């Protein structure tokens, strides 16, 4: 048992040797890392020290294992303590859902190779290493070659399990619609969570990924998502953080093969003292890939939204098309919006642009709507709904879109203006 700063790193006796080894390796990396090594720019708007203190006190938790079930619309994954029995869902679908500890040797190898994919353009920070060493909830999802799962796969996650790791493997030409939903557990003593997601999209595969959360007001949710795209793979990622005191999300997209395409949408409607801190890197290393980031943020009360996007196009990534747009609407005097759309371009043959705006509501528009019989509040809510619509229109039709529409509508109604 190793111990640093009172964090206990338990070697889980129930886990296979390869996993224990991997945890040890990550622990060694973590224990060598220092606070001073944190990228100051990345942590410019959110103070990491107190998060880390919170994290330390909750790094240990019961091991939890995923359970797969099914209803008429979707496949559902929930997690229960590991002491409970292994899932017995008879699985006629070409999908596997399991905890890392339960994997057979072939799958274990597969997971290790995914976990060891290099973090291009980004150093793993202390939170990331801590996650790999101490995760107490792990989920491995793999879709077989050529398989297409029609029904969305919904992961219901609760923040009371402190550290989670999700590994998704889409084999060649497979197709998955994945929804990650965060909520607060019933008895919440723990309010901080670090979630790490690593997705490998093999040649020609297609992933629609949505991350949404509606955790309680005290919660702090940190997440780190890394997507690797092989040739012609397609990713459509959607971020819809609603609750929590702090929601910090890092997204990395690494293109490994030509012709891949990544589209990321995001929508924030912050109120009270909420902070939304979103960081993204689209890393283009190979030719002819496309990336597209599109965020619309609205903040009111004393809330704050931060958007930092980085499109990095390395030498040799010719024919890249990359776009980035972030628009912000400020509804109150004390709300704050930060937007930093970055570009790092190493090659000549690219089409690349970005735009950002920050503004408030137009009084003329409000006046017009009021003259048609709406109250001021109704008018503002209608304009906010209209502001979000370009994002909503980009979402693929189906259950995910319906759910987003409903959440956004509900959010607009519940925010008092």
Partner 1 sequence: MSKLKVMDLRKDYKYGFHDPEDYVYKSEKGLSEDVVRQISAQKDEPDWMLQQRLRALKIFREKPMPKWGNQDLLGQMDFDDIYYYIRPMEKQGKSWDEVPENIKKTFDRLGIPEAERKFLAGVTAQYESEVVYHSMREDLVEQGVIFLDMDSGLREHEEMVKKYFGSVIPARDNKFSALNTAVWSGGSFIYIPKGVNVEIPLQAYFRINAQNMGQFERTLIIADEGSSVHYIEGCTAPTYSSDSLHSAVVELIAMPTARIRYTTIQNWSNNVYNLVTKRAVAHANATVEWIDGNLGSKLTMKYPSIYLMGEGAHGEVLSIAMAGKGQHQDAGAKVIHSAPNTSSQIVSKSISKQGGRGTYRGLVKVDPEARDARVNVKCDALIIGDASRSDTYPAMEINNKTAKVEHEATVSKVEAEQLFYLQSRGLTEDEATTMIVNGFIAPFTKELPMEYAVELNRLIALEMEGSVG
Task: Provide the minimum distance between the beta carbon of 331 and partner 1 in the complex, in angstroms, as a whole number.
Answer: 7
Q: In the complex, what is the shortest distance from the CB of residue 217 to partner 1, in angstroms, rounded to a whole number?
A: 23
Least separation in angstroms between CB 368 and partner 1: 19
Instruction: Name, in order, each residue with C-beta under 8 angstroms of 187's C-beta and a sequence gap of 6 or more.
Output: 160
Choose between 218 and 258: whose C-beta lies nearer to partner 1: 258
- Does residue 5 come out as left (phi exceeding 0), alpha (psi in the -120 to 50 range) or beta? left
- What sign has the CA pseudo-torsion 16, 18, 24, 27? negative
Quote the CA–CA distance of 210 and 400 in Å, as a whole number: 8
Of residues 41 and 156, the one with the C-beta less far from partner 1: 41
Which of 264, 253, 259, 169 has the alpha carbon at shortest distance from 210? Answer: 264
Q: How many CB atoms lie within 10 A of CB 350?
A: 18
Closest CB to partner 1 among residues 17, 348: 348
Write b or e for each residue in 180-204: b if 16 or more Cβ atoms lie within 10 A of its Cβ, otherwise e.
bbbbbeeeeebbbbbbbbbbbbbbb
- Taking the complex as a whole, the smallest distance from the CB of residue 161 to partner 1 amounts, in Å, to 35
Residue in the block written with tokens 């819809």? 240
Q: Which is nearer to partner 1, 358 or 392 (CB)?
A: 358
Shorter beta-carbon distance to partner 1: residue 181 or 342: 342
Whichever of 344 and 406 has its CB closer to partner 1, that residue is 344
Q: What angle do CA 285, 138, 198 make, to 5 degrees?
A: 10
CB of 69 to partner 1, least distance (A): 46
Q: How far is the CB of 44 from partner 1 (least distance, A)?
A: 8
Binding site for partner 1 (CB under 8 A): 40-41, 315-316, 318, 328, 330-360
Alpha-helical segments (H) within 98-149: 105-115, 126-134
- Which 3 state secondary structure label does DSSP give 270? strand
Q: Which is nearer to partner 1, 40 or 186 (CB)?
A: 40
Taking the complex as a whole, the smallest distance from the CB of residue 298 to partner 1 amounts, in Å, to 11
Q: Which residue has the tokens 């008895």?
A: 187
> Cβ 345 to partner 1, closest distance in Å?
5
Judged by phi (left if over 0) then psi (alpha if -120 to 50, else beta), residue 6 lies in left
Among candidates 34, 29, 31, which has minimal Cα distance to 3?
A: 31
Nearer to partner 1, 319 or 398 (CB): 319
The Cα 140–Cα 66 span in angstroms is: 9
CB 294 within 8 A of CB 322: no
Nearer to partner 1, 216 or 332 (CB): 332
Residue among 207 and 335 whose Cβ is closer to partner 1 = 335
Rounded CA separation 89/99 (Å): 14
């Amino acid at each position: 048992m190793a111990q640093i700063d009172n964090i206990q790193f338990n070697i889980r006796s129930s886990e296979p040797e390869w996993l224990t080894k991997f945890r040890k390796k990550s622990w060694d990396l973590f224990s060598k890392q220092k606070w001073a090594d944190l990228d100051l720019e990345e942590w410019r708007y959110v103070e990491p020290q107190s998060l880390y203190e919170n994290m330390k006190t909750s790094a240990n938790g019961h091991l939890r294992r995923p359970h797969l079930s099914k209803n008429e619309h979707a496949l559902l994954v929930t997690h229960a303590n590991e002491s409970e029995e292994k899932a017995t869902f008879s699985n006629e679908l070409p999908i596997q859902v399991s905890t890392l500890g339960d994997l057979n040797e072939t799958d274990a190898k597969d997971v290790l190779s995914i976990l060891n994919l290099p973090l291009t353009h980004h150093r793993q920070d202390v939170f990331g290493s801590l996650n790999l060493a101490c995760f107490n909830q792990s989920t491995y999802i793999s879709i077989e070659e050529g398989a297409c799962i029609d029904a969305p796969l919904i992961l219901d996650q609760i923040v009371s399990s402190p550290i989670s790791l999700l590994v998704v493997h889409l084999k060649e030409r497979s197709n998955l619609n994945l929804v990650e939903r965060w909520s607060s557990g019933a008895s919440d003593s723990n309010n901080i969570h670090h979630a790490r997601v690593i997705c490998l999209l093999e040649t020609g595969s297609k992933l629609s990924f949505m991350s949404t959360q509606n955790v309680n007001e005290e919660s702090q949710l940190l997440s780190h998502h890394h997507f690797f795209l092989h040739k012609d793979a397609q990713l459509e990622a959607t971020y819809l953080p609603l609750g929590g005191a702090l929601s910090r999300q890092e997204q990395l997209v690494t293109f490994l093969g030509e012709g891949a395409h990544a589209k990321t949408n995001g929508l924030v409607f912050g109120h009270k003292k909420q902070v939304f801190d979103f960081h993204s890197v689209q890393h283009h290393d190979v030719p002819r890939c496309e990336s597209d980031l599109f965020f619309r943020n609205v903040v009111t009360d004393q809330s704050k939204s931060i958007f930092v996007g980085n499109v990095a196009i390395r030498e040799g990534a010719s024919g890249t098309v990359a776009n980035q747009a972030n628009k912000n609407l400020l509804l109150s005097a004390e709300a704050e919006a930060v937007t930093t759309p970055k570009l790092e371009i190493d090659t000549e043959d690219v089409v690349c642009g970005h735009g950002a705006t920050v503004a408030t509501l137009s009084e003329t528009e409000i006046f017009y709507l009021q003259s048609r019989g709406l109250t001021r509040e109704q008018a503002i809510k209608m304009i906010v709904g209209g502001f979000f619509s370009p994002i909503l229109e980009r979402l693929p039709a189906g259950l995910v879109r319906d759910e987003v529409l409903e959440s956004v509508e509900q959010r607009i109604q519940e925010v008092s203006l």
